[in-house]
Structures are given as structure tokens and as C-alpha cells.
Amino acid sequence: MSWQGTIAELKAWLATQEQISLEDLALLQSDTRTGVQRLLLQWQRQQEMERKEAERVAMMWNYERTYRDRGYEAIVGVDEAGRGPLAGPVVAAAVVLPPDFEGTGLDDSKRLTEEKRLLLRTRIEQYARGWGVGIVDAAYIDEHNILKATHEAMRRAIMELKITPDVLLIDAVKLADTEVKQESIIKGDQLSVSIAAASIIAKTTRDALMKEAALSYPQYGLDKHMGYGTAEHLAAIRKWGPTPLHRMSFAPVAEWADHTQHVKAKSAGE
């Protein structure tokens, strides 16, 4: 005996099943129709993917679970976006997730598509206990250096929270001048759901700012490379020079300034 329904009916049925009984599985496996076997294989692959994702996300709750077991409640994930670009601000975010937050899909924002980042941001904004954003512009970066600017953006993001932090989980850096307990986690946006959530908020916020800036400076392609040093961006700097958004202390932009000064000095000498 084999599956008695049509291929379409089987597809609809499988879409509602998280598990299949051994009896139903045997019936499907004994069905000689190619369509049935294809659907069964697709369902099994999907179930395996969902199982692995559930295991991955469960692992990403380990830091939060450990601190919650120690009595900490407001566990804040902190991350930044935009340390490496030649233009635009560095943006940090701080996020507090509830323990029952649906973490499926959360990951380092750089490993996600723009569509997935925006969908996850909507979920985070809807269900997070609190979140804040800190933005530090290019002028501050040039005056203080990118590391200090990153720390400042993180401090601003934490201050934006409406919740007093009990502990900070921070991606790869440690903040000075704070009495709040903190833990720096290398690749934290892949190991902690809270940091991953902060990574997504920071990245989507910064991308939106760069897309807005592209309207004022369309010749630079800021909405495509988000200020990073792509060949297109470097060519635009050479042709048009830097904008107020550019980080003059960063090598490619500084080299442009040095070259321009050299040319002006040479022309004056002639």
C-alpha cells in the first residue's frame, strides 16, 4: 500500500507536518511515483535544516542563559557597524532580548541578506525589551581615531536604553569607564543572540544613513558599497575628492589629500 492522495495533496499535507509517523514514512517511501519521492526528500532536507538551525540558536543563548542563571536580568548585547569604511559614521546598537525571544535566523549581520536583516530588525523592534543606537560621525573619528569612536558609539547606544543594564555582552571590545559588568566575546555576533540582534540593528541603521547620504552625493555610489573602499569608491574619490562624510584620517582618503597638496605645492613652485 502507498500514499493514496495526489501529489498536490501530499505537498499540502507535508507543509503542516513537523514529524511523520514511522507508518506514514514507510507508506511514502514505498510509493513509486517520482513526485512523491521528490517531495519526501525535500521535506526531510527542510526538517534537517530546521533541526540544525534550532541547535545553532540554542547554542547562541548560552551566554544569556549563564548570566540569567546567576541572577542577571537586563543582559545587553552590544555591537557596531562601520569600523572599516572610508566614509560615513560608525554606528553601534545595544539590545536587551526577553528569554523567550524567537531567535531563529539571528546571526552576524554581514552573513545575512539585506532582506533577512530587515525582517529580523522588525522582529527585534517588536519584541525586544529595549534597544538603543549610538552614532559617531567622521569628524569625531578623525579627531579621536576609529577605536575610540567605536567605544563612544557603544556608550551612546547603551545610554539610549530605557533599561538599566545588569551586564554587557560586547563583540570583541571592552569598554572603559563603566561600572557595569561586561564580557568581551570574540565573534560575539555569531555566538550570542543579543550581540547578533545588536549587529543587525547597527548594520541596518548605518545602511539607511548611507542610502540617505547617497541622495546628496550620488556620484560616489554610497548606497552600493556603504562607504567601503571598493574600486568604484576609490575612483570616485580620485575624481571628485572627498565629501564631509569621508574619514580624512583613513589611508586612501589621506593619500588623496597628500597628493592634492603635493600637486598644489608643485604648481605654486612653478
Q: Which three cell numbers stand for residue 222?
A: 554610497
Whether residues 200 and 147 share a domain: the answer is yes
CB 135 within 8 A of CB 209: yes
List, for residues 213-253, the tens digit of each pLDDT value: 999 999 999 999 999 999 999 999 999 999 999 999 999 89
* 270, part of any domain: no
Higher model confidence: residue 78 or residue 21? 78
pLDDT single digits (tens) 77-100 = 999 999 999 999 999 999 999 999
- Domain end among 59, 79, 95: 59
pLDDT band at 255 (very low <50, low <70, confident <90, very high): confident
Q: Domain with 116 in it: what CATH number?
A: 3.30.420.10
Residues 51 and 93 in one domain: no
Is 206 within the bounds of a domain? Answer: yes
The pTM of the full predicted model, rounded to 2 decimals, is: 0.86
Domain that holds residue 42: 7-59
Please tell me which residue, 268 or 152, carries the higher pLDDT value: 152
Note whether 171 and 76 are same-domain residues: yes
More confident residue, 138 or 261: 138
Non-local (6+) Cβ contacts of 253 within 8 A are 86, 87, 237, 242, 246, 247
Please indicate, yes or no, whether residues 110 and 195 belong to a single structural domain of this protein.
Answer: yes
In total, how many domains does the chain have?
A: 3
Query: What would the mean pLDDT of 106-112 be, rounded to a whole number?
Result: 96
Choosing from 21, 38, 59, the residue where a domain stops is: 59
Residue 165 lies in a domain: yes
102 and 135 assigned to the same domain: yes
Q: Are residues 52 and 147 in the same domain?
A: no
Q: Which of 139, 138, 129 is nearest to 206 (CA)?
A: 138
On whether residue 2 sits in a domain, the answer given is no
Lowest mean pLDDT across 64-78, 176-190, 254-268: 254-268
Residues 93 and 107 in one domain: yes
Co-location of 95 and 208 in the same domain: yes
In a domain, 269, yes or no: no
* Residue 55 domain-assigned (yes or no): yes
Point out the least confidently predicted range of 34-38, 90-94, 137-141, 186-190: 34-38
In this predicted structure, the answer to whether residue 141 has a pLDDT above a threshold of 50 is yes
Please compute the mean of the pLDDT values over residues 124-151 and round it to a whole number.
Answer: 98
Give how far Cα 90 sits from Cα of 41, 82, 183, Å.
45, 5, 21
Residues 123 and 198 in one domain: yes
pLDDT at 151 over 50: yes
Mean pLDDT of 136-144: 98
pLDDT confidence of residue 264:
38
* Average pLDDT of the residues in 188-199: 98
Q: Looking at the structure, do residues 99 and 165 belong to the same domain, yes or no?
A: yes
Residue 15 falls inside a structural domain: yes
Residues 125 and 169 in one domain: yes
Residue 268 lies in a domain: no
pLDDT-derived band at 3, boundaries 50, 70, 90: low
Q: Which sign, positive or negative, has the C-alpha torsion 110, 116, 118, 123?
A: negative
Choice between 226 and 47, residue whose per-residue pLDDT is larger = 226
Terminal alpha carbon distance of the chain: 96
* pLDDT given at position 107: 96
* Same-domain check for residues 51 and 118: no
